[in-house]
Amino acid sequence: MDIDSLRKVVSALDVLVVRGGSTTPPEAGRKGGGEMEQSRSNGLILFVVGATVALVCTFADELGLGTPGSGFGWAQGLGTFVGSLGIIAGSYLSGFEGRYLAAAGIAVVILFLAWDKIGLGRPGFGCAHSIALFTGAAVAGIGFYLMKKGS
């Protein structure tokens, strides 16, 4: 994926999620809105990159990137954690509506609590589960904070 494709994806996410489908730029009719728009774009890029890194690191063995049967190693744990921090920081910077962040965070928590029952990945509660639950809870917390703040 080249940088132009990534910018198109970020722009589409900005229109759908941040502005609720409105194509009117948020800075229309007021001064100083360009900095806010840049922060949102940077937040969306950070969110997408963080999610990609976290998912690739979490499922590296299943994707054939790691040593099959070696288990969840320190590099996978570190990559998943760094990707999760990108998701959390990107969610806050991007200006997503609080209710969407709260719903997404709760969905991640439920998914990873039901991981074994669904039959995804290896059974047992490990490092990936812990990081995913922390990330889901943090994203939901940011969502609730933004809802209370009036976002």
List, for residues 101-132, the tens digit of each pLDDT value.
888 888 888 887 887 777 666 667 777 778 87
Residue 80 above 60 pLDDT? yes
What pTM was estimated for this model as a whole? 0.60
Domain count, the chain: 1
Q: Is 96 left (phi over 0), alpha (psi -120 to 50) or beta?
A: beta
Token pair, residue 89, equals 């920081």
Is the separation of the CB atoms in 103 and 143 below 8 Å?
A: yes
Residues 84 and 17: their CA atoms lie apart, in Å, by 20
Average model confidence (pLDDT) across the chain: 74
Residue 70 above 50 pLDDT? yes
Which residue range(s) make up the domain with 114? Answer: 3-149
What pLDDT is stored for residue 37 in this prediction? 74
Residue 26 above 70 pLDDT? no
Highest mean pLDDT among 7-11, 20-24, 115-119, 143-147: 143-147
The SS3 call for residue 68 is coil
Q: Which residue has the tokens 């999760």?
A: 84
Query: For residue 35, what is the enclosing H or E element?
Result: helix 33-58
